[in-house]
Amino acid sequence: MFSIAATILIISAVITIIRMLKGPTVFDRILAANLIGTKTVILILLLGYIYGRPHFSDLALVYALINFIVTIALLRYMEKGRLD
């Protein structure tokens, strides 16, 4: 079951990488990078569940928060040219 879920995540990540490289705007590329980060969080949670390590969920939560903050900061910087 894990291999099926991991395969689906990897295939969707490859499709997202293609979208990130061909995105018509910078905003599409940044959101595609955010989506890859979200897929990474899901993969970390799946690994934690499979190996019976509940502290992986803490790592996934921290990674998700960092991913969100970086995405917002990049979008603000691209829109306004500064971060204030």
The amino acid at residue 27 is: F
Torsion sign over Cα 39, 40, 41, 44: positive
Closest CA to 43 of 1, 71, 6: 6
List pLDDT tens digits, range 30-67: 889 999 999 999 999 999 999 999 899 999 999 999 99
* pLDDT for the residue 56: 93
Token pair listed for 79: 């829109």
Contact 38, 64 (CB under 8 A): yes
Q: What is the DSSP letter of 54?
A: T
Question: What pLDDT is stored for residue 78 in this prediction?
Answer: 84
